[in-house]
Structure 1
Amino acid sequence: MSSTVLLRHLHEARIAHYRHSCANDATDNDVVQLYLWNSELAAALSEVLGFVEVALRHTIDMQLRAWSVEQCGSDLWIDHLDALPTLQRSFATSRRNLYKAADESRKDRRSDHPRRGEEINHDDLLAHVMFGTWGKLLPEKFNPRKRHADGTYVQDERNLQARRELWKCCLHKAFPEVAMDPRGFGTGNKVRDLRRLRNRVSHMDSLLYVNVGSMHDQVLMPLLNSIDNELRDWALARSRVKKILAERPSMG
């Protein structure tokens, strides 16, 4: 069966990028082959991004746990945000929403699940913190404007300062191998850049106009390296991204 059957189920707005990247005399099959290559590239990126997300969650959580013990005597920082105002001003997710999501997951556990029927714990809540939330904990040089209900914008200086304080007192320890980034701006930017890439990959959007090679070499791998040199080396050895980039179909 011809692979062009796929074209019947893709809106023209989605396939337009692929047609534009092909030569004028390209066939529908050429367009599909480019689309399939994009899918393979997205799958390869998704694998490495998965390693980043898990490692990022772990390293930040470990430092927040230790800091929470120092500040309020408990490592369950999500349950003690009221006692951690610097973190509370930075953490862009409500404890209530995390409990709601964790409870839905708990109810969905199969009968043979090893934790079926058990109460929600910190790790359950942590699993439902979205990738973007971690980026919003990290400092940046210029704070994005906060939109009010009336449509006006204002700089949220308290949030900006809280993230800088959090980096200084705690989160810089989550990236022990980071170099030349004492204020954490570069680290925060890398995480936020990867969140945007992750969203594009998750939605199967076109990567044709994304400098994937640069993102892989200058953002993704350095971020892993800032957490652990050996983790970067391990992920780099597994990554299929550069190989698939080199296999891009030639469409004139």
Structure 2
Amino acid sequence: MAEASNSISTEDAWRIRSVLSPPRLSTYEPPSVTAKPGETSVQAAVRLYQWNAEVSAAFWPVINVFEVAVRNAISTVISQVHGQDWAHDPSFINKLPNPTGPVYNPRKDLKRMADLHKTTGKVIPELKMSFWEKMLTKRHDGDFWSLYMNVGFPYLPPGSHQAHRNELRSRYERVRKMRNRLGHHEAIFDSTRFSLHAIFFDMVQVLEWREPEVSDWVMQFELVQQTLTKRPT
């Protein structure tokens, strides 16, 4: 069988498959991607795997800015009530959920990080994304969002704090779920699971609500949109 143009050789594709593992690469084989004329399913899978890695890499700089901006915004809101050292304030810690069982525990997460780090500035980057997502739930409306939503996100459009908080939480959740896949080098190409265009613009929109200059800056260097156009079909 003749090799398809611009495709890795069959022999090399099989070698790559053996290194990455057949179960992992099988996720990327047809029907996830269409083999070109003269191309084997393994060659096609390698093409899609490579693109998945490229688009994952393109997302990381945007996620970097998004994560830092959102957690700093939420920290600013918390500090309106509990001061700059909120991470070590028992009155704040005791407001956090403390569930039992194999679920994420915000109170335990914060306590653990606060015990390890003396300043809130050092605690902030150590907290899991789930911590910040939990801060965007209804239980915190009375303490924080009903009064200080516009402190954290001053460029939100007119609307209720509940609606804004729900929008922020849902967008943040979509980014978190995709980021977890990226962190484990897993597939994100499946459009039934992740709408990559929508997730990208979720991040850009949230950054605009925080500070339009930041979203404009991200749009100057991002490579996500360009990479999305190159997805193998």
**TM beyond 0.5:** yes
Name the counterpart of 1:123.
Answer: 121
What is the number of residues matched between the two proteins? 205
What secondary structure sits across from 1:185 in the alignment? helix
1:97 matches 2:112: yes
Distance 1:40 1:79 in 2: 40
- Higher mean C-alpha displacement, 86-95 vs 9-18: 86-95
Match of residue 96, structure 2, among 67, 73, 88: 88
**Partner in structure 2 of residue 52 of structure 1:** 66
- Structure 2 partner of 1:16: 26
8 Å CA contact 1:44, 1:239 repeated in 2: yes
2:132 is aligned to 134
Following superposition, the deviation at residue 181 of structure 1 comes to 4.7
Identity among equivalent positions (%) equals 19
Q: Which residue of 2 aligns with 1:229?
A: 212
Aligned residue number for residue 172 of structure 2: 191
Query: Is 1:67–1:170's contact at 8 Å kept on the other side of the alignment?
Result: no
Map of 2:3 onto structure 1: none
**C-alpha spacing 1:4/1:175, structure 2 compared with 1 (3 Å):** farther
* RMSD between superposed Cα atoms in Å: 2.4
Q: Give the 3 Å change call, closer, same or farther, for CA 244–101 of structure 1 in structure 2.
A: farther
Q: Which runs of 5+ in 2 are unaligned?
A: 1-10, 99-104
Question: Given that residues 177 and 228 in structure 1 are in contact (C-alpha distance below 8 angstroms), is that contact kept between their aligned partners in structure 2?
Answer: yes
Instruction: Give the Cα separation in 1 of the matches to 2:158 and 2:222.
Output: 26
Which fold has the larger relative contact order, with Cα–Cα distance below 8 Å and residues 6 or more apart in sequence?
A: 1
CA apart distance, 1:172 = 4.4
Matched letter for residue 23 of structure 1: T
1:238 to 221, 225, 229: 221
Question: 1:44, 1:240 within 8 Å by CA — same for their partners in 2?
Answer: yes
Q: Distance in 1 between matches of 2:134 and 2:148?
A: 15
Q: Which residue of 1 aligns with 2:147?
A: 169
